[in-house]
Amino acid sequence: MPSESYLEPDYFVGDVNATNFTLCDDTSELRIAFISIGSCLSVLGCMFNGILLYIFLGKTQRSYPFQTFLAFLDFMLCALYIHCFGLLALSVEYKNALLYNFVMDSNVISLVMSRIVQLAIPYTLIANSAEKLTMILGFDCESKYSLRLRIGVIILLSATVTLLRINGLYLFYIFEDDNCEYFHRKYLSSHQEEVQKWTTFENVLTFFHTFVSFVLLVAFNIVVVAKLRVQHRRTRRQSTSPAQLFSVYFRNFLGSKSITVLTPVGNTATQTLENRSTTARVQAAQEIREQQHKIRCAVKTTVVIISAYLACNLCNFVLYSLETFRREWIMEGNGGFKPFYVIISDVGSNLFVFSSTIRIFIYYKYNAEIKKLIREMWLVNFIITHIRPLKTDALLKIDRADV
């Protein structure tokens, strides 16, 4: 069975009867560096996704059910990283037995929760892309029926991924080796009978999680961008056609209540026609710019989301391939994993956390409503109104001093 690469402290899922002196070794400095970076990112991720949850649940004018659920999943992912890696590292470093036992004794539950969260994130992104596509096609996504439907999808998704990953409670357990030093004696292991029973199921599920979800996400976003381009071309043709220009001019002319007196009729009519034509061209150009902006935002958002997801799945793909086809390459003779495998696992973990942390910046960049709400928050508003002017004044003083 391929082991889960993320959120498994020490990554020792092997035969409990095997003797392995490396199980008692201290954590390498490289792993400590990875864990430190990941823990810092996770703290930021919890803060940023907490802000997103606060905004989505009480501040926005329109509903964001999929984005809200995604922010919750990202928050959980970062919190689980802190629990499994950060707190464990602190307990070992400062020899805190109470914290060490708490983290290790709850490690199986944390691992199962992390597997559920990881499986739910890509399919939540797919559902979000599908919602974006329905909006482009002209469906009403703000009605009560639409909101209930999306909430139903979230509930169904949550129940499905939980049922698919709940078997981890029977697969894994914490083994305690009394021959090791106290803060290195507990590690994660697996029941070999259960592993053999669930091997085919785990392989199929990992395939869908690693490959199928990515293909679906790419396909949905390509369709979204293509539909936006078609919509942009249609708007451009309509906005610049003579019929559209005349229609805009005629509507503006009928809506005008101004009266011109003591002016030659011919000159007034010509000037009015030119003004209306100019207004129509300006409106047409404005519509084109708005459509182009939508396309750019959709393309950039797609690139960022897919790139982050691809980076995470690239590590998963490598790990999955090694675990499935070349397991002897990653296993030591005494049952432990080789160092390079642990490093790749740590890189994948940090990439997952990083992709969950930066999502607030994507919303800030491409969603005007969320950007406005973020800027209105007290701390952000304080930074914008106080720190930036101070930096500007300091630069001006330096310039004057140099002169």
Partnered with residue 186 across adjacent β-strands are 176
Residue 324: inside a domain: yes
Residue 155: inside a domain: yes
pTM listed for this prediction? 0.76
Residue 270: inside a domain: no
Cα(315)–Cα(344) distance, integer angstroms: 7
pLDDT in tens, the chain (403 residues): 334 444 444 433 333 333 334 456 556 778 888 888 999 999 999 999 999 999 888 877 777 889 899 999 999 999 999 998 999 989 988 899 999 999 999 999 999 999 999 999 989 988 888 887 787 777 766 677 788 899 999 999 999 999 999 998 988 988 888 888 888 888 888 888 888 888 888 888 888 887 788 788 878 878 877 877 776 676 666 555 555 555 545 555 555 444 444 445 455 655 665 566 666 666 766 766 666 666 666 556 666 766 667 666 677 777 877 877 788 888 877 767 788 888 888 888 888 888 889 888 888 887 777 888 888 888 777 777 776 554 444 444 444 333 3
Q: Give the residue from 16, 381, 330, 349 showing the smallest Cα distance to 193.
A: 16
Match 């909101």 to its residue by tokens: 147
Cα(357)–Cα(367) distance, integer angstroms: 17
Partnered with residue 188 across adjacent β-strands are 174
Cα(114)–Cα(176) distance, integer angstroms: 22
Cα(400)–Cα(393) distance, integer angstroms: 10
Residue 132: inside a domain: yes
Residue 197: inside a domain: yes
Check residue 182 and report its DSSP letter: G
What are the two backbone dihedrals, phi and then psi, of residue 142, each rounded to the nearest 5 degrees?
Answer: -110, 0
Q: Give the residue from 193, 34, 165, 39 showing the smallest Cα distance to 103.
A: 39
What is the domain extent for residue 182?
9-218+310-366
Match 């930074």 to its residue by tokens: 383
Structurally, how many domains does the chain consist of? 1
Residue 164: inside a domain: yes
Residue 79: inside a domain: yes
What are the two backbone dihedrals, phi and then psi, of residue 113, each rounded to the nearest 5 degrees?
Answer: -65, -40
Q: Kindly report the CATH number assigned to the domain that includes residue 158.
A: 1.20.1070.10
Residue 288: inside a domain: no
How are beta strands 186-190 and 172-176 bridged, if at all?
antiparallel
